[in-house]
Structure 1
Amino acid sequence: MSRRSLSILAGAVFALVLAIVAMVTMNLSPTGRSGGGMGTADIGGPFTLTAEDGTTVTEADFLGKPTAIFFGFTFCPDVCPTTLYELSGLIDDLGADADRLNFAFVSVDWERDGPEQLALYTSSFDDRIQGLAGTEEQIEAITKAYRVYYRKVPTDNGDYTIDHTASVYLMNGEGGFVGTLSYGEAHDSMLEKLRQLAAKG
């Protein structure tokens, strides 16, 4: 099996695990809380990152409204632009409900993706999607808290790409994990999940 096939398989297995965790969380946790709350899935938690304008952002800045958070990088050739384009369409379709949610894009590429690079990149998508950067230590901390898989992969030209989790994490207003939007999931299915998330607050 090729390295690319193994990477795709690893991503698919991780997405399946997240889906199972999401089902367990939604079925067994009456509050839908986790990641420091009283849920069954230990996903989410404290973090410190830098916004596109250079200001410091922590998990506290997202509390009070549910959040859709995606992990990727600006040099990503396919999954990231596709996901952010789809997310922009979902935000548009949500209408006024979109303002009841936070949307974040966290770069796992601390070497190349600073605030300015993220601002340039996210300008191609809905302006409600916040780009967040961090140091190696900060990215290690948040990806560990959110159980995000990512791995730097050398390319033939001496550069590198990054394999990473392709799901969008859905967190409630208390910072608890409640589910995911899977890469390639039907648009209407994702839209309904976001509507329900917005309605629950």
Structure 2
Amino acid sequence: MKTATIAFAASAVVILGLGATWLSISARQSEDVFAKCRSSVVAGGAGQIGGPFTLTDENGREVTDKDVITEPSLLYFGYTYCPDVCPLDNARNANAIEQLEAKGYSATPIFISVDPARDTPEVLREFTDIMHPKMIGLTGTPEQISKVSKEYRTYYKVQNPGDPYTLIDHSTQSYLVLPKVGFVEYFNRDAKPEQMADRMACFIDAWKSSGSGN
């Protein structure tokens, strides 16, 4: 009888623990105004990605994140000398922004270079003008680029430092960032522009409904 009592008590503790965990998760989800829009999970929560930065824009001006992210923005880290991935990804992002605009929403595509040695403001401006009229190109010192890359948990590595034709390995996620909120979602390379536009619209609607978009 004592064994049965102990087993029953242990089961009760487990059930109570599971119940508390479920309540905790439910509470966090109910507090997350973007819960219905999310399709990705970030370890530690979305607040672990992103942060303030100071960089140089394609016109040679020093800018901060507050200067640049003035509306919903789609960030991508890459470099203009990239032979295929970056042009394709940025063209896809530009397409997603255009489809979003067709739905009545406004957003800005942002291209952050991980190749400050070659990507001068002039080079960036030529690249972004081809991609989308609203696209903003950003560069900076190696230290500034390293800092913002770490904030967004991106990866890049120059294959042959000093080689003017070197390739750079880099991650390829695109990040949806909202003013006053910060990072809310990322998109992998296989995301289609129409899917991105739909999900971005969901986040923007929730952002406006929460009052942060006013």
Length-normalised TM-score, structure 2: 0.70
Report the equivalent of 1:178: 184
Structure-2 separation of matches of 1:131 and 1:82 = 16
| 1:115 lines up with 2:121 in the alignment | yes
Residue from 152, 155, 159 that aligns with 1:149? 155
Q: Residue by residue, what CA displacement relative to the aligned partner does 1:165-185 show, whole Å, maximum 9, x if unpaired?
A: 101011122242211111021
Report the equivalent of 2:169: 163
* Contact preservation (8 Å) 2:55, 2:144: yes
Report the equivalent of 1:131: 137
Q: Residue by residue, what CA displacement relative to the aligned partner does 1:22-61 show, whole Å, maximum 9, x if unpaired?
A: xxxx9586256xxxxx955411111111111111110112
* Contact preservation (8 Å) 1:29, 1:40: no
| 1:92 lines up with 2:98 in the alignment | yes
| 1:74 lines up with 2:71 in the alignment | no
* Contact preservation (8 Å) 2:52, 2:65: yes
Report the equivalent of 1:4: none
| Superposition deviation, residue 64 in structure 1 | 4.8
| 1:52 lines up with 2:58 in the alignment | yes
Structure-2 separation of matches of 1:114 and 1:90 = 26
Structure-1 separation of matches of 2:155 and 2:178 = 21
After the TM superposition, list the runs of 4 or more consecutive aligned residues in structure 1 that deviate by more than 4 angstroms.
Answer: 26-29, 96-99
* Alignment coverage as a number of residue pairs: 170
Q: How many percent identity over aligned positions?
A: 35
Structure-2 separation of matches of 1:28 and 1:69 = 27
* Contact preservation (8 Å) 1:73, 1:109: yes
- Name the larger-Rg structure: 2
Report the equivalent of 1:187: 193
| Superposition deviation, residue 193 in structure 1 | 1.5
Structure-1 separation of matches of 2:198 and 2:159 = 35
Structure-1 separation of matches of 2:29 and 2:142 = 35
Tell me which amino acid in the other structure corresponds to 1:68: L
Structure-2 separation of matches of 1:53 and 1:167 = 25
Structure-2 separation of matches of 1:188 and 1:114 = 32
- The CA RMSD measured in Å over matched residues stands at 2.6
| Superposition deviation, residue 78 in structure 1 | 1.3
Report the equivalent of 1:65: 71
Structure 2's unaligned 5+ residue stretches are 1-27, 35-43, 208-212
CA distance 1:118–1:31, shift in 2 (3 Å): same
SS of corresponding position for 1:191: helix
CA distance 1:121–1:63, shift in 2 (3 Å): closer
Length-normalised TM-score, structure 1: 0.75
Tell me which amino acid in the other structure corresponds to 1:165: S
* Contact preservation (8 Å) 2:119, 2:139: yes
* Contact preservation (8 Å) 2:116, 2:142: yes
Structure 1's unaligned 5+ residue stretches are 1-25, 33-37
* Larger displacement relative to structure 2 (56-65 or 73-82): 56-65
| Superposition deviation, residue 96 in structure 1 | 5.6
Structure-2 separation of matches of 1:158 and 1:60 = 33
* Contact preservation (8 Å) 2:46, 2:183: no
